[in-house]
Structure 1
Amino acid sequence: MLMDQVGKVCNEVSQPYPLIQEKSGYSEQDPNEWVEKTIYALRELIRQFEGRPEDIEGLSFSGQMHGLVLLDEDKQVLRNAILWNDTRTTEQCQQIYHQIGEAQLLEITKNQALEGFTLPKLLWVKQYERELFEKAAVFMLPKDYLRYRLTGAIHSEYSDAAGTLLLNVAEKQWSAELCEQLGIDMKICPPLVESHGFVGKITTEISEKTGLAPETKVFAGGADNACGAIGSGILSDGKTLCSIGTSGVVLSYEERNDRDFQGKVHYFNHGEENALYTMGVTLAAGHSLTWFKDTFAANESFDQLLAQLSKVPIGANGLLFTPYLVGERTPYADSVIRGSFIGMDSSHRQDDFARAVIEGITFSLNESIEIFRESGKTIDTVISIGGGAKNETWLQIQADVFNARIVKLTSEQGPAVGAAMLAAYGCQWFDSLEQCADVFISSDKEYTPIPANVEKYRQLFLLYKQVYKQTKQLNEGLKAFRKQ
């Protein structure tokens, strides 16, 4: 995505990356695909650009978190990248707890050991691909490898490093303690820089292949959620983001590095220097709505499916939905739990089910907001982006369920805008990310909570929270009957 000095999107180009899934639970990509497709996209961007290549001053990155790329001493890729949604590492998560202990792990990394993180992947390779592991000279995260191929320089930055489970989040350095106890040579940990840090210029080869000027500056970039926060203006205390895509994220700005959430939510370094963010995740947010449409209203568009949403009363005429279609992350790290419709009767119609799905997704996200508030955070304004910001009724539902002012932005390209802002700040177009945000980000509309609706949703939310506890054992019994 190409942006100018006033935050206008000049052009966008996208390319797909094929997914490699050799076994159930495996999810990999060939890192060379990222490079080839990025070169193609940049070349296409330059071809369509009406200005001079020299006018493009800098570039940066928003990247998928947690993925593992291993390079040997010759900087060659040793195996396919293992991605964030790969679930093969349950055994290694248990090993981490056995070796480190949950309390110590939380103290150092601020996060639980989950299959998606980078450290369990490293330990899996060490255990099952030992010969390959011993050849590893450095591990990298996806965007960091791509950046290396564009510049020849190897770095990581704090927002992505925080998602490895190897970073001391408060001290902003790789944990020698964890590496030593888990038998990992610290030499394979890349040097750390700030997200807006200048890491070099593009190589002559990349300049020739893309058409970018050789003087194009490259800045470290950030994890996708950190960049989403920057691109949505989550740059001061009290600001919170609700992003509803396939999964759903509630992300809140943190100035302090010493809060104790007991692992109930993620606690990562921000893309803004010396800041952090906390984050709760609903695994099947937009995915729940897509599943419902594809299964029961395949011939309808999303607009048609939700056309009558405002006509259905709060509580969907006595129908509750829990969006646990693929398990859940926050506040229950539970891979076995599955979704439920509670309260169905023969009077319910498709519109009631659609409203229940929307409300259930929003209730799940509200569980993260509840954790934040219980820790003493004030959440009075929430920036809403993604699928949840495309429907006015859903935006009002968010305001009423969250009991907070909901702000819809004029642009929903959060992560890409955040990456562009890091480059703009790195190029010294602005004195701070906040100053950049004042220019690049603007709000479109606001939704305020309606007191009567807030009270109804408060009562419904109490019922919603009971469903997990009361269906947990049932789902454990049903697991044996699921399609393998």
Structure 2
Amino acid sequence: MPVVAGVDSSTQSCKVEIRDLHDGSLLGSGSAPHPPAFPPRSEQDPAAWWTALKAALVTARNDAGVSRTDIIALAVDGQCHGLVALDAADQVVRPAKLWNDTTSAPQLERLKRLIGAPEWIRAVGSLPTAAFTLSKIAWLAENEPAHYRRLRHVLLPHDWLTWKLSGRHVTDRSEASGTGYYSAAESRYLPEFLVHVDAERDWADALPEVVDASTAVGTVSGTASTELDLSPGTLVGPGGGDQHAAALGLGIVPGDVVYTFGTSGVVFTTSDTPVFDLTGMVDGVADMTDGYLPLVSTLNAARVTDTFARILGVDHDGLAKLALDAAGGSGLVLAAFLDGERKPNRPGAQGILSGLTSATDREDIARAAFEGVILGLVSGERQLNAAGVRTGGRLIATGGGARSAAYTQLLADLTGREVLVADAPEASARGACVQAAAIASDRPVREVLRAWAPATRSVATPRPGSGTVRETAADRYAVLAGWDALDTPATDSPGTTA
């Protein structure tokens, strides 16, 4: 029975799904944790990702009851941005810097002044933050010159796993467009930006080849075949970014909008044309087909409610109950910048809870915790609209937070729209399966995306009376968090601190 495997290597864990090649039905799944990593210095040893992949694949294969010869293709999506530095022997030079490592903020600001914020946006579709790879390369050159001298290959986390599988240094448009030195609109690297880090290095030899999303990069290497117990002819896809894979797994079309509540918060849609938001808030990155995935990504999401559950001495269900029991309209607003923030770009920011009075109770605080996360993404959707991106279609919630009734109900209240969830609890791993099926059956990724689009169901609609609270909360949040000042083009000045 031919099957495909999709691998989602996130900040927190590796998840693997095995699906039937022909109809996409889920046959088995598995997961394994990654070592914890937290800002501002968020790093992981890539070897841990490989160990987790091996464990998760064994579990998924046993769950599906398939043999090594049944898996004919696999693809990997991973946490975006980051930096995996390899030397001439393809050895990892130092632990990988993750997307939520903010230590390269000073280098980012210097690069922004050298390149120019509007010019950078027009070139790559985004105004990079410290999450983007270019600033991390600059950090390595400045802070660890011995390691930098060993650098020969620049990979992203998912690129490194694809290299472990296939032996090739490759990437895809979705991930390349999040580096800060790749133009998705022109489908080319921009070495002139890397020259600002090192004018002497031949960057062309250091960067991975960008492979079309529907094209296999090869088959598993002999080492990978042995370590993962896969047939030598198993095809390997080019993979992509985690949110980009989620878009495939959810089967979204232009106009749909997705709210992701995970380690980070993301609001995104898909577009057939490139997006250039000169305020710098929208990342106009490529998707895993031939199009684009305009998105706004916040640094603080589910960890915010984790933190407030600890502060209030309740579990997640207890926090959700408190939030849903709150009357609303208390005026309490949270700028949830607990670990800094990247949209708006404030790496040194801290959280602010505003509107406290002697009448404030635990329910109000719990509700503010959820709303602080949600309103950051609602502001992001407004910025998508301001950039000319349509989001009037379905509203789909995903990520671990989407399993919380408080997140989905308050999202409905704060948007005034019906909230759906898809029959794709692990949308990113599902999307990786979509790509694996495309390369295995020699079909375009978009064709498999449409054929495998999951069913959706309604989980929340706006509660009576939520309209008045919605407008008040959104306006107060915009002022507190600084979104009300985003109607002017991005400048070269450093981000302010909340």
Same fold (TM over 0.5): yes
Residue in 1 that maps onto 2:159: 144
Runs of 5+ unmatched residues, structure 1: 480-484
Residue 152 of structure 1 and its aligned partner are, at CA, apart by: 1.3
With over 3 angstroms needed to count, the CA separation of the structure-2 counterparts of 1:66 and 1:213, relative to structure 1, is: same
Name the SS of the counterpart of 2:469 in structure 1. helix
Residue 308 of structure 1 and its aligned partner are, at CA, apart by: 5.0
Name the SS of the counterpart of 1:243 in structure 2. strand
Please give the per-residue CA displacement for 1:146-184, whole angstroms capped at 9, x wherever unaligned.
Answer: 111211122111111111111012112101322344425
Structure 1 letter corresponding to 2:368:
A
With over 3 angstroms needed to count, the CA separation of the structure-2 counterparts of 1:361 and 1:180, relative to structure 1, is: closer
Q: 1:329 aligns with which of 333, 342, 347?
A: 342
Residue in 1 that maps onto 2:327: 313
Residue in 2 that maps onto 1:396: 409
Residue in 2 that maps onto 1:230: 248
Q: Does 1:194 align with 2:191?
A: no
Alignment map for 1:437-456 (pairs within 5 Å): 437-445=450-458, 447-449=460-462, 452-456=465-469
Q: 1:64 aligns with which of 79, 82, 106?
A: 79
Name the SS of the counterpart of 1:254 in structure 2. coil
CA contact (8 A) 1:179 1:185 kept: no
- What TM-score does the superposition give when structure 1 sets the normalisation length? 0.88
Q: 2:124 aligns with which of 95, 109, 113?
A: 109
What CA distance in whole angstroms lies between the structure 2 residues aligned with 1:363 and 1:449?
15
What CA distance in whole angstroms lies between the structure 2 residues aligned with 1:219 and 1:354?
43
Residue in 2 that maps onto 1:34: 49
Name the SS of the counterpart of 1:57 in structure 2. strand
Structure showing greater Rg: 1
With over 3 angstroms needed to count, the CA separation of the structure-2 counterparts of 1:349 and 1:135, relative to structure 1, is: closer
Residue in 2 that maps onto 1:374: 386
With over 3 angstroms needed to count, the CA separation of the structure-2 counterparts of 1:199 and 1:323, relative to structure 1, is: same
Name the SS of the counterpart of 2:88 in structure 1. coil
Residue 140 of structure 1 and its aligned partner are, at CA, apart by: 0.9
Residue 49 of structure 1 and its aligned partner are, at CA, apart by: 4.5
With over 3 angstroms needed to count, the CA separation of the structure-2 counterparts of 1:398 and 1:37, relative to structure 1, is: closer
Q: Does 1:340 align with 2:358?
A: no
Please give the per-residue CA displacement for 1:275-333, whole angstroms capped at 9, x wherever unaligned.
Answer: 11121123222222111111112xx3322332254443232x34333322223322x21
Residue in 2 that maps onto 1:482: none
Q: Does 1:254 align with 2:275?
A: no
With over 3 angstroms needed to count, the CA separation of the structure-2 counterparts of 1:295 and 1:437, relative to structure 1, is: farther
Q: 1:209 aligns with which of 201, 204, 227?
A: 227
Name the SS of the counterpart of 1:99 in structure 2. helix
Please give the per-residue CA displacement for 1:421-474, whole angstroms capped at 9, x wherever unaligned.
Answer: 11112212765435434435111225444685234311331122222359x9xx
CA contact (8 A) 1:169 1:268 kept: yes
Name the SS of the counterpart of 1:62 in structure 2. strand
Please give the per-residue CA displacement for 1:135-154, whole angstroms capped at 9, x wherever unaligned.
Answer: 33221111111111211122
Structure 2 letter corresponding to 1:304:
G
Runs of 5+ unmatched residues, structure 2: 1-15, 486-494
What CA distance in whole angstroms lies between the structure 2 residues aligned with 1:62 and 1:197?
15
Worse overlay, 127-136 or 356-365? 127-136
- What TM-score does the superposition give when structure 2 sets the normalisation length? 0.86
What CA distance in whole angstroms lies between the structure 1 residues aligned with 2:303 and 2:441?
39
Worse overlay, 29-38 or 166-175? 29-38
Residue in 1 that maps onto 2:177: 162
With over 3 angstroms needed to count, the CA separation of the structure-2 counterparts of 1:41 and 1:339, relative to structure 1, is: closer
What CA distance in whole angstroms lies between the structure 1 residues aligned with 2:36 and 2:325?
41
Residue in 2 that maps onto 1:458: 471
What CA distance in whole angstroms lies between the structure 1 residues aligned with 2:52 and 2:428?
19
Worse overlay, 196-205 or 127-136? 127-136
Residue in 1 that maps onto 2:288: 271
- Provide the identity percentage: 27
Name the SS of the counterpart of 1:195 in structure 2. coil
What CA distance in whole angstroms lies between the structure 1 residues aligned with 2:444 and 2:214?
12
Structure 2 letter corresponding to 1:204:
G
With over 3 angstroms needed to count, the CA separation of the structure-2 counterparts of 1:318 and 1:132, relative to structure 1, is: closer
CA contact (8 A) 2:334 2:353 kept: yes
Name the SS of the counterpart of 1:212 in structure 2. coil
With over 3 angstroms needed to count, the CA separation of the structure-2 counterparts of 1:469 and 1:428, relative to structure 1, is: closer
With over 3 angstroms needed to count, the CA separation of the structure-2 counterparts of 1:463 and 1:123, relative to structure 1, is: closer
Structure 2 letter corresponding to 1:314:
G
Structure 2 letter corresponding to 1:398:
L
